[in-house]
């Protein structure tokens, strides 16, 4: 038995390895099962349902009438307001993410340095994150009201303006103030991610750079920044998705503006649903939205390769 078992041992070993793979998958299923189910139920199923809805004709009351193939997509792509909306979305995402990351890099650097009261300042930075976005935005919205807003009141009192200006009543200024609010609420997460990245930078590398005679800027650009790559990658990616899909800020800040001059894809989807009552069209727009996010993420992963060297 022992003599015959020896030659077959090698293949058996390989086989056993494969079967343990299977076995380990099976034995891990009860552990990951609930999570998988959850993902199926709250991610895969709604997404599938959304895609299904986008190919249907649905009455304004919500009754599913019939399949229309890709007609809904033809309708949304021939919509004359779509280019402006996509442009707005692009401007919105790029400006918010770019400014947020730049400010957060500076802020993280500042919070990395020891100084008296640092813990307090670090905690203060979390506040916009801890507060509800709707609440924060509403505070800004009322502050910017032309008749009784505190910001307008302040600008009038210090003589910058003669009377209150409707910041949130015109497309361009409303987008601009929305960008500011979005930056305000995105900074805490970004700063903390970058701060964690900074703390992982070994001091030896900084000392070595100093020994080699690198100045502060050179140390930062060539030593610190490359080591922040994964932290930057995470914060940029999450921010892009988050900002792209942001509804509450824009809904509150630009919601009262007539027409679609201040709409991003997200608020437009909402308007199509709320005012036009077109569930089918808004589903098609959501599919478009989803596809754009996927493409952005894919391009990002391909070019920045954030997962290498992690």
Partner 1 sequence: MKRSKRTAALALSAAAALLLTSCGFSGDKGGSNTAEGGQTTLEMLVPTYSTGTKALWEGVIKDFEAEHSDIKIDLEVQSWENIENVLKTKLQGNQAPDIYNGGAFAEYAAEGLLAPATDIASQATIDDFQPTFADAEKFEGTQYGLPLIASARALFYNEDLMKEAGVTEVPKTWDELYDASKAISEKTKSDGYGMPLGNEEAQGETLIWFAGNGGNFGDAEKIAVNTPQDLEAAEFMQKMINDGVTQNDPGATQRTPMLNTFIQGKLGFAYGLPQTVGQIEKENPKLNYGIAPVATKTGEPATLGVADRLMSFKKDGKNSAAVKEFFDYFYSADVYTKWVSTEGFLPTTKSGSEKLSGDKALKPFLDQLPNAVFYPTTNPAWNATDGAFKSLMGEIATGKSAKDVLDAIQAKADAAAK
User: Closest approach of Cβ 241 to partner 1, in Å?
Assistant: 5
CB atoms within 10 A of CB 109: 15
* CB nearer partner 1, residue 47 or residue 123: 47
* CB nearer partner 1, residue 121 or residue 299: 299
CA distance 112 to 69: 55
User: Closest approach of Cβ 1 to partner 1, in Å?
Assistant: 39
**Residue 160 φ then ψ, to 5°:** -75, -35
* CB nearer partner 1, residue 131 or residue 237: 237
User: Closest approach of Cβ 164 to partner 1, in Å?
Assistant: 8
User: Closest approach of Cβ 223 to partner 1, in Å?
Assistant: 25
| H or E, element range at 67 | strand 64-67
* CB nearer partner 1, residue 146 or residue 226: 146
User: If you count them, how many residues does the chain have?
Assistant: 310
User: Closest approach of Cβ 18 to partner 1, in Å?
Assistant: 17
User: Closest approach of Cβ 305 to partner 1, in Å?
Assistant: 8
Binding region for partner 1 (CB under 8 A)? 39, 42-44, 46-47, 49-50, 59-63, 146-147, 166, 168-171, 237-238, 241-242, 245, 247, 255-259, 261, 266, 271, 273-277, 282, 286, 289-290, 293-294, 297-298, 301, 305-308
Which is nearest to 268 in space by CA: 85, 134, 93, 95?
Answer: 85
Cα Rg of the chain, angstroms:
26
Is there a contact between 263 and 171 (Cβ–Cβ < 8 Å)?
no
CA distance 71 to 65: 14
* CB nearer partner 1, residue 107 or residue 268: 268
Structure tokens at 76: 């949304």
* CB nearer partner 1, residue 131 or residue 247: 247
Distance of CA 33 to the CA centre of its chain: 27
């Amino acid at each position: 038995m022992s003599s015959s078992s020896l030659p077959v041992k090698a293949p058996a070993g390989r086989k056993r390895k494969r079967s343990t793979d299977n076995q380990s998958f099976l034995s891990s299923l009860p552990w990951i099962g609930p999570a998988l189910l959850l993902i199926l139920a709250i991610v895969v199923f709604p997404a599938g349902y959304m895609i299904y809805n986008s190919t249907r004709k649905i009455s304004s009351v919500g009754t599913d009438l019939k399949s229309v193939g890709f007609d809904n997509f033809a309708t949304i792509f021939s919509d004359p307001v779509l280019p402006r909306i996509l442009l707005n979305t692009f401007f919105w995402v790029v400006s918010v993410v770019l400014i947020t990351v730049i400010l957060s890099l500076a802020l993280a650097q500042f919070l990395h340095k020891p100084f008296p009261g640092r813990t307090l300042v670090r905690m203060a930075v979390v506040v916009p994150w801890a507060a509800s976005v709707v609440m924060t935005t509403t505070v800004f919205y009322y502050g910017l009201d032309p008749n009784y807003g505190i910001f307008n009141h302040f600008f009038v009192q210090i003589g910058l303006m003669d009377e209150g200006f409707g910041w949130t009543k015109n497309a361009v200024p409303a987008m601009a103030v929305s960008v500011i609010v979005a930056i305000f609420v995105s900074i805490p997460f970004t700063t903390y991610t970058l701060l964690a990245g900074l703390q992982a930078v070994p001091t030896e590398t900084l000392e070595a750079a100093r020994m080699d005679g690198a100045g502060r800027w050179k140390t930062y650009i060539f030593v610190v920044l490359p080591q922040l790559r994964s932290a930057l990658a995470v914060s940029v990616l999450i921010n892009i998705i988050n900002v792209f899909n942001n509804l509450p800020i824009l809904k509150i800040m630009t919601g009262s503006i007539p027409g679609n001059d201040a709409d991003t894809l997200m608020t437009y989807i909402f308007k199509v649903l709320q005012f036009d009552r077109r569930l089918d069209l808004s589903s098609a727009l959501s599919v478009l939205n989803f596809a754009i996010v996927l493409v952005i993420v894919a391009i990002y992963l391909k070019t920045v390769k954030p997962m290498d060297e992690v």
